[in-house]
Structures are given as structure tokens and as C-alpha cells.
Amino acid sequence: MDCPSEEQMIRMKLDELTNIQSMQFDIPNRLLDVFHTDTNDQIFQRLDSFTPTDSHGQEKKLLWQVLAINFFFFALELLTGFISNSMGLVADSLDMLADSIVYGLALFAVGGIPLRKQNIAKASGYFQLTLVVFGFIEVIRRFTGYGDIPTFQTMIIISVLALIGNATCLYLLQKSKSKEAHMQASMIFTSNDVIVNIGVIVAGGLVYLTTSKLPDLIIGTLVFVIVGRGAFKILQLSK
């Protein structure tokens, strides 16, 4: 215990115990005095589950790494998606942005203040929903005849690179072997991204075989649905 954020986390772990009368924290000397009634078994069980500061630092470093990877591919896919007329890439870029938000929220969860995390989650959820609405509008516009056939080479190449990026993120997250809820959630989101990347690659191949933009629009729609569902989940978590 060497910072106020850890004091907050310890308080959250012990506040539910009714036999605790008061707690006195001495952060400079790394001491905690707990005044309680009955036995101290539950208190020690709660404290034993507390994650050390070194582990917090490792989690933050890891989350910053996967956040940087996802945000890079968000920008790359968004740019190349518009250049190549691929809604699949644009939708996948928003999926990458959604993951960046999840990793950012996970960073706040490491020693963060719950209220601040909830406010950021709410703003992020509404921001994602706004992007999804604009995405669906563009898909509908292209279904009605606007827009050229996407460049399948760009779709496949960029999606393969994004797949490598997501696979790297998943490897780093699994390597940490963390059982914390926010880390487990990050692994689930990244696993889904690998599937999405493969879907865009397949769509690129179908665009080549059919010389039609329908495969790209279909995969784009599916990914927008996934991102929209993720936004609703984030909003639910922020309540």
C-alpha cells in the first residue's frame, strides 16, 4: 500500500464487512490498522485477494500496449476504408476504436475511481452509438446504388495486418494470465476482433470473385451491429 488509489481499493474490499468499526491508513509507513469485532478471518481473506502494486503496474503497461496497437489500426483502417470504398474496413476500424475505449476503461479500472470510470464509460458508449448510426446511414446509401466496388486488395492486405495486430494483443493479454474482470473482458473483445478480421478478409475475396460490393456491405453491416451491441453493453456497465 503506497498510494491513495490503493487505499481506495482496500476500502472498497472491506467496506461490506459489518464487523469493521474503523480503519486507519498510514500510507508513508505502509501500515493499516483495522478496528473490528468478532474474528479477523474475513478481513484477511479480503486482503489476501488484493492485487499488489507491481501487478497493477504490469497491467497498466500491458493495457497501454494493446491500446496503442488498436488505436493505430483504427486510424489505418478508417483511412484506407474510405480510400478503397470498403465499408467492411470502416466498420472494423470502429470496432478497433471500441476496443481502444474498452482498454482505456480497463486502465481506469486499475486503481481508478469508480465514478470517474462510469462517466467515461457513458460518454464512450454514446460516442460509439453515434458513429454506428452514421455507419448504418452510409451502408444504406451504398445499398441503394451509391459508391463504387471496393478495392479488394486493400481490404485483404489491411485486414491481414489488423489480424496480426489483434493476434498480438490477444497473445499479450493471455500471457498476463490475469483473472481480473476488466482483463478478462479485454480478452473477450480481442477474440471477437480476430473473427471480425477474418470476416473482412473473406468479404474481400468474395468481392474479387463476384465483382460486387454486396459482400463488403454485408460484412460492414454485421460489424456495425457488433459495435452497436458493444456500445449498449458499455452503457449498461456505466449505470
47-64 per-position pLDDT tens digit: 665 544 445 667 778 888
Q: What's the burial of 29, exposed, middle or buried (CB within 10 Å: 0-12/13-18/19+)?
A: exposed
**Do residues 44 and 17 both lie within one domain?**
yes
pLDDT at 200 over 90: yes
What is the reported pLDDT for 112? Answer: 52
**Do residues 69 and 34 both lie within one domain?**
no
Min mean pLDDT across 30-44, 47-61, 205-219 is at 47-61
**Do residues 16 and 108 both lie within one domain?**
no
**Do residues 109 and 137 both lie within one domain?**
yes
Min mean pLDDT across 3-12, 27-36, 182-191, 204-213 is at 3-12
pLDDT at 79 over 90: yes
Instruction: Quickly tell me which residue has 460516442 as its cell.
Output: 127
Structure letter (DSSP) for residue 34:
E
**Do residues 131 and 36 both lie within one domain?**
no
Position 1 confidence tier, pLDDT thresholds 50, 70, 90: very low
Measuring CA to CA, how many Å separate 35 from each of 7, 25, 47, 143?
16, 12, 15, 67
Three-state SS at 180? coil
Q: What's the burial of 69, exposed, middle or buried (CB within 10 Å: 0-12/13-18/19+)?
A: buried
Other C-beta atoms lying within 10 Å of the C-beta of residue 175: 9
**Do residues 180 and 206 both lie within one domain?**
yes
Average pLDDT on 108-123 reads 61
Instruction: Quickly tell me which residue has 460489424 as its cell.
Output: 223
Three-state SS at 33? strand
Three-state SS at 63? helix
Measuring CA to CA, how many Å separate 120 from each of 111, 114, 151, 236?
15, 10, 37, 13
Structure letter (DSSP) for residue 179:
-
What is the reported pLDDT for 164? Answer: 94
**91 vs 18 pLDDT, higher one:** 91
Total structural domains within the chain: 2
For residues 234 and 124, what is the distance between their CA atoms, to the nearest angstrom?
8
Mean pLDDT, all residues of the chain: 78
Min mean pLDDT across 124-128, 150-154, 210-214 is at 124-128
Domain of 143?
A: 53-237
**Do residues 90 and 137 both lie within one domain?**
yes
**Do residues 104 and 62 both lie within one domain?**
yes
For residues 99 and 155, what is the distance between their CA atoms, to the nearest angstrom?
20
Structure letter (DSSP) for residue 188:
H
Structure letter (DSSP) for residue 49:
T
pLDDT at 161 over 80: yes
**Do residues 130 and 191 both lie within one domain?**
yes
Contacts of residue 86, defined as CB under 8 A and 6 or more positions apart, other chains included, come to: 80, 150, 151, 154, 155, 200, 204, 216, 220
Position 28 confidence tier, pLDDT thresholds 50, 70, 90: low
Average pLDDT on 150-163 reads 94
**Do residues 16 and 134 both lie within one domain?**
no
**Do residues 213 and 138 both lie within one domain?**
yes
Q: Is 147 left (phi over 0), alpha (psi -120 to 50) or beta?
A: left
**Do residues 42 and 63 both lie within one domain?**
no
Structure letter (DSSP) for residue 40:
S
